């Protein structure tokens, strides 16, 4: 846990994004490109939930709902009222932030499972509203005809154009997350995730920081929701239900709770595994369940933690080999 943010982390993010910019030319196939786009939105969802779970030590079961509020606010504004998606985006972010603040304020003061309970209830309420506010959301059949983003009248509805939009948006968001963790706030968060009482004694306003993390993570989920809604042109309530919130928690744990690169792995699994298992159909759920248990048993710090161990071992072996060679 408590990934150390260093210059290498920034460098890694930069290199990854450079590689991703080249992707459309390496893999011109639109299937792969759409998968990469999906990976980017999933990364945003999982990295933001990871921020919360890793640094406040609490599980939120409403990440799917925040994702959904972002998608529906921006989607409904543009599909039903003709508001530009560029205006819908900040509105959706602010609305989600306010809702998260209202849910988080009373519960984050308490230690224990209260956030899990409140968010579980909250996701249920959000799911009912997505279905029942039919005039706005289109009910169980979903909201259709959501317009794409456009720049100067040029619609970003091709796979490639949207990929670049997602790359920029998610890139900015990831950089923002990295900066947050690397700042005074980040140090306070790290302190509070290791020793909450100690942090409080040193003058860290624990409640304030927990709220901050919760609201920021909800707003990033809403950003993912906006991207999803305007790319897919269609949203329906089951994408944002309790099950999807649970799956996001699972992916954070698989990648490694509080591990910076863990979110990348979690997002990769979440995006690719369903595609790989498509031919096996019904086995998908079983594989998810069993692999979660196995990863938690053998790598309590998730696959990200497992990779750290592997890297350490390789480096040590490398060092020993070089030492052996250098000896006369």
Are the beta carbons of 199 and 115 closer than 8 angstroms? no
Applying CB under 8 A, which part among 90-98, 107-115, 148-156, 262-270 lies near another protein? 107-115
Does the footprint of another protein cover residue 113 (CB under 8 A)?
Answer: yes
Q: Which two tokens stand for residue 93?
A: 């972010």
Does the footprint of another protein cover residue 246 (CB under 8 A)?
Answer: yes
- Which of 14, 28, 106, 319 forms a contact with another protein (CB under 8 A)? 106
Applying CB under 8 A, which part among 217-225, 243-251, 266-274, 312-320 lies near another protein? 243-251
Return all residues near 324 (Cβ < 8 A) that are at least 6 apart.
none
Closer Cβ to another protein, 114 or 234, answer by number: 114
Inter-helix orientation angle 30-56/159-181, to 10°: 20
Considering CB under 8 A, how many residues would be counted as binding another protein? 44
Does the footprint of another protein cover residue 269 (CB under 8 A)?
Answer: no
Task: Give the Cα separation of 218 and 304 in Å (integer).
Answer: 23
- Which of 151, 243, 315, 321 forms a contact with another protein (CB under 8 A)? 243
Does the footprint of another protein cover residue 313 (CB under 8 A)?
Answer: no
Question: Rounded to the nearest whole angstrom, what is the least distance from the CB of residue 285 to another protein in the complex?
Answer: 4
Closest CA to 137 of 240, 243, 248: 240
The 8-class DSSP code of residue 280 comes to G
- Provide the CB-side half-sphere exposure for 305 (13 A, CA): 18
Return all residues near 281 (Cβ < 8 A) that are at least 6 apart.
none
Binding site for another protein (CB under 8 A): 57, 59, 103, 106-107, 110-114, 116-118, 120-122, 124-125, 128-129, 131-132, 197, 242-243, 246, 249-250, 253, 257, 282-286, 288-293, 296-297, 300
């Amino acid at each position: 846990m408590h990934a150390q943010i260093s210059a290498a982390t920034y460098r890694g993010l930069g290199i990854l994004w450079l590689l991703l910019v080249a992707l459309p030319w390496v893999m011109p196939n639109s299937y792969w490109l759409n998968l990469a786009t999906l990976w980017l939105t999933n990364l945003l969802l999982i990295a933001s939930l990871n921020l919360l779970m890793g640094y406040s030590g609490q599980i939120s079961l409403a990440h799917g709902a925040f994702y959904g509020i972002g998608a529906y606010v921006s989607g409904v504004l543009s599909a039903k009222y003709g508001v530009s998606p560029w205006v819908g985006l900040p509105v959706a972010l602010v609305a989600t932030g306010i809702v998260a603040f209202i849910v988080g304020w009373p519960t984050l003061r308490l230690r224990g499972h209260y956030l899990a309970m409140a968010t579980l209830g909250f996701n249920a309420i959000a799911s009912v509203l997505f279905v029942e506010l039919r005039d706005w959301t289109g009910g169980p059949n979903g909201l259709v005809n959501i317009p794409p983003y456009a720049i100067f009248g040029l619609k970003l509805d091709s796979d490639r154009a949207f990929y670049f939009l997602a790359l920029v948006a998610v890139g900015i968001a990831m950089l923002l997350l990295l900066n947050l963790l690397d700042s005074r706030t980040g140090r306070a968060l790290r302190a509070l995730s290791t020793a909450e009482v100690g942090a409080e004694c040193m003058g860290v306003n624990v409640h304030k920081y927990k709220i901050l993390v919760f609201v920021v993570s909800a707003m990033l989920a809403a950003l993912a929701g906006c991207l999803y809604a305007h790319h897919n042109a269609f949203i329906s309530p089951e994408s944002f239900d309790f099950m999807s919130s649970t799956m996001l928690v699972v992916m954070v744990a698989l990648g490694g709770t509080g591990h910076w690169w863990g979110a990348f792995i979690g997002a990769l699994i979440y995006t690719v595994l369903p595609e790989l298992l498509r031919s096996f159909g019904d086995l998908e759920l079983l594989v998810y369940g069993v692999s979660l248990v196995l990863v938690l048993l053998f790598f309590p710090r998730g696959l990200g933690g497992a990779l750290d161990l592997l890297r350490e071992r390789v480096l040590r072996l490398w060092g020993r080999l070089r030492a052996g060679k250098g000896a006369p």
